[in-house]
Every structure is written in C-alpha cells, then in structure tokens.
A and B are shown apart, each in its own frame.
Chain A
Amino acid sequence: MNKFTLTISSPDGIIYQDEVQGISLRGAEGDLAVLSGHVPFITSIKPGECKVIMADDSEKIAYVDGGLLTVSNDTVNLLAGSFEWKDNK
C-alpha cells in the first residue's frame, strides 16, 4: 500500500514523524480514515481513539484529546492537545 508522511505534534513537541499507511480517528462528523492520495482536507477531531497503520502493516492505537487534522499532498499533520500511545510497543 502507498505511504504518506504523518506528523503528530503536541505543544511539547513532535511526538511522531514517519511514513505510515493510514490513520483513522474520530472527526467532527464521525469516524474517518486517511490513506495515501487523500484530497486536501482540514477537520477538527474529537477526543477518542486513534489507529495508525504503520509502514510494516502493524497497527498502533493511541488516545487523542481532540485537535486539528490537516491533509495536503500526502503529508498529514495531526495537532493534538495531548497524544498517548496505548502501550509502549
């Protein structure tokens, strides 16, 4: 599957920045997923679970407390107030 660059930042700095296959989380109007080749897109996100599909097909789950998601040209920025991986895998 095609990959894109995901950057997750919080006020304490960049938490994660790498190539991933997809990300799904809770948007303002329901759950949404972003894959490579998505149209330019901005939405606010609600507190909830966030699933990231890594480049090696593994999945990682995290909790976000809300924020903003911007997508443009295969770079995805997730601006979160706080972001915690579910476990330290």
Chain B
Amino acid sequence: MGADIKKLKTRIKSVDSTLHLTKAMGLVASSKIKRATDAMMKSREYADTITDAVSMLTACRECEKSPYLKKGDGKNTCLIIIAGDRGLAGGYNANIFRLAKEIRADEVIPIGKRACDRYGSEPVLAETFRYLDALELSKELCTRFSEGEFDRVGILCTNYVSIMSQEAQIKWILPLEKNENPNPISIVFEPDEITVLNSAIYEYIAALIVAAVRESYASEVAARRVAMDSAGKNAQQMLDDLYLDYNRARQGAITQEITEIVAGSDA
C-alpha cells in the first residue's frame, strides 16, 4: 500500500507541473493572438490593394508578353513552405508537412523554425519576418522565374479561418493569373504597361509572401492556444482521477492500520 501511495504522489506531481506548463503556454499564446491577427489584417489589406492594381495590369493585352505570365507545365516547382517556430500547436505543423508531401517540389524555401529544421537550412523565424526579407526573397524568385529556372512558384501556408479552425493550403503566386475581364475604363500607364508590371511585381510578390507569413503566424498562435486549452483540460481531468485514487489508497491504509491496532488490543 505504501509504495502505491508514493507512486501516485509522484504521478500527481508530474501531471500538476504539466498542467502549469500548458496553462502558461496558453496564456502566452492568447496574449499574442491580438497582435498577430492585427498584423495579419494589415498585411492582408496591403496585399488586396496591390492585387487589385496588378489585376488591372494583367488585364491589358500588352502584358501577355511579360515573362511573369508565361505558363509552364509545372515541371520545375519552387515551394515556399511556411510552418511554425515552435511545436505544441496541435496539428499546425503536421498539417503543413502532410500537404508538403503531396506536392512535388524541386526547390523548397522554408520559413519558420520548424520548417527550416526539417529542410535543413538556416533558421528564419516566422514571428520576426520583415517586409525587407520578403522583398529580397521576391526579387530573387522573380529573377529566377523570368530566367526560366522555375515554371511555377507556390506558397504553402495556413489559412486563418477563425481562432478555432485553420487549414493548410497552397497558393500559386507565379506565373500571374491573367485577368480575363478587360478594364472598363481606359487607364493611362506610365511609361507603359510592361514596365510598370515588371517593377510592381517585386512588391506584389513580397506583399503576398508577407501576408502569408502573417496569416500563418496568427494561425500558429491560435492553434497553440486551442491545443493548450484542451491539453490543460485533459491534465485537470487526469489530476482529479489521480487524487481520487490517492485519497482512496490513503484511506485504505488508515483503515487497515486501525483494524490492525484493534485486532492487536483484542488479543
């Protein structure tokens, strides 16, 4: 009996410390949610505005000649994979990597510590990813794309639906989708459509990358919060069960002791 009580006590202690950990991580995640979703909204706004401008550009016939609209056969694929910086976020990282397995990629550019660890490159944190990093990456990608090194470029990121649900998805960013609806009004381009498109493309791709990173980061934080909430609940449940067992064992030991003493005094 005594050994049983001791075992239960150590288990209670370890579950209790796990509970503390999940609670702390959940709190940290919930304090980060607001900032992460704000940043996501802002970068999404910018990406939407620049997407409108680019779709006005791709509606022009002159832009069909642009190397960025040239459709390939998907033989050389470059994939930007955005995953979390840390684990313990439920299925967040696993969902991304599962989707990554389904798509054959010739080159992978990982963002987020987990993705970098997996693909063996210098760690790039998703939390502190800046616009300038994205611009650099976008310039490199656009140059290599226009030289024909890749014929499609995609971003594997997580779509933030709500705090409770996020889903991994792939967005193809290059080649540009041609806008089939011609512009209703004639627009003046200076100096001309192709030049404007070729200089706007860097900012456009960078904006898409930043928006995807911010959205994925918001998803990571939200996923962690939910995961920690349910882990905390499970730990509490376990703790309750263990306490019940422990008290029962303690009471059993006392009862046995009393029985022994009574039996001893009778004799």
Chain B residues, Cβ within 8 Å of A11: 42-43, 46, 131, 134, 206-207, 210
Asked if A5 is at the interface (CB within 8 A of a chain B CB), the reply is no
Chain A residues, Cβ within 8 Å of B210: 11
Q: Mark A8-37, 1 if CB is under 8 A from B, else 0.
A: 011111100000000000011100100000
Q: Which of B50-58, B150-158, B159-167, B216-224 lies at the interface?
A: B50-58
Chain A residues, Cβ within 8 Å of B57: 42
Contact A40 B185 (CB under 8 A): yes
Asked if A48 is at the interface (CB within 8 A of a chain B CB), the reply is no
**In the complex, what's the smallest C-beta–C-beta distance from A78 to chain B, in angstroms?**
10
Size of B's binding interface in residues, CB under 8 A: 30
23 contacts between A and B (CB under 8 A): A7-B49, A9-B46, A9-B49, A10-B131, A11-B42, A11-B46, A11-B207, A12-B39, A13-B46, A28-B191, A28-B199, A29-B190, A40-B185, A41-B190, A42-B53, A42-B189, A42-B196, A43-B191, A68-B50, A72-B187, A79-B50, A81-B131, A81-B203
Contact B196 A79 (CB under 8 A): no
B154-194 contacts to A, CB under 8 A, are 185-191
Chain B residues, Cβ within 8 Å of A44: 195-196, 199-200
Residues A14 and B42 in contact in the complex (CB < 8 Å), given A28-B195, A81-B131, A81-B203: yes
Instruction: Identify the closest chain A residue to B183 (Cβ).
Output: A40
Asked if A2 is at the interface (CB within 8 A of a chain B CB), the reply is no
**In the complex, what's the smallest C-beta–C-beta distance from B36 to chain A, in angstroms?**
14
Interface residues of A (CB under 8 A from B): 7, 9-14, 27-29, 32, 39-44, 67-68, 70, 72, 77, 79, 81-82
Chain B residues, Cβ within 8 Å of A67: 203
Query: How far, in whole Å, are A39 and B190 apart by their CA atoms in the complex?
Result: 12
Chain B residues, Cβ within 8 Å of A77: 49, 53
Of the listed residues A7, A11, A72, A81, the one surrounded by the most CB atoms of chain B closer than 10 A to its CB is A11
Asked if B135 is at the interface (CB within 8 A of a chain A CB), the reply is yes
Knowing that A13-B42, A42-B57, A68-B203 touch, tell me 20 more A-B residue pairs with CB under 8 angstroms. A9-B46, A9-B49, A10-B46, A11-B46, A12-B42, A13-B41, A13-B46, A14-B45, A28-B196, A41-B190, A42-B56, A42-B187, A43-B190, A44-B200, A68-B50, A68-B53, A68-B200, A70-B56, A72-B187, A81-B203
Query: How far, in whole Å, are A16 and B41 apart by their CA atoms in the complex?
Result: 16
Instruction: Identify the closest chain B residue to A38 (Cβ).
Output: B188
Interface residues of B (CB under 8 A from A): 39, 41-43, 45-46, 49-50, 52-53, 56-57, 131, 134-135, 185-191, 195-196, 199-200, 203, 206-207, 210
Query: How far, in whole Å, are A70 and B197 apart by their CA atoms in the complex?
Result: 12
Chain B residues, Cβ within 8 Å of A7: 49
Query: How far, in whole Å, are A14 and B53 apart by their CA atoms in the complex?
Result: 16
Chain B residues, Cβ within 8 Å of A27: 190
**In the complex, what's the smallest C-beta–C-beta distance from B160 to chain A, in angstroms?**
17
Query: How far, in whole Å, are A39 and B188 apart by their CA atoms in the complex?
Result: 7
Chain A residues, Cβ within 8 Å of B45: 9, 13-14
Contact B56 A79 (CB under 8 A): no
Of the listed residues A39, A41, A44, A82, the one surrounded by the most CB atoms of chain B closer than 10 A to its CB is A44
Chain A residues, Cβ within 8 Å of B206: 11
Chain B residues, Cβ within 8 Å of A13: 41-43, 45-46
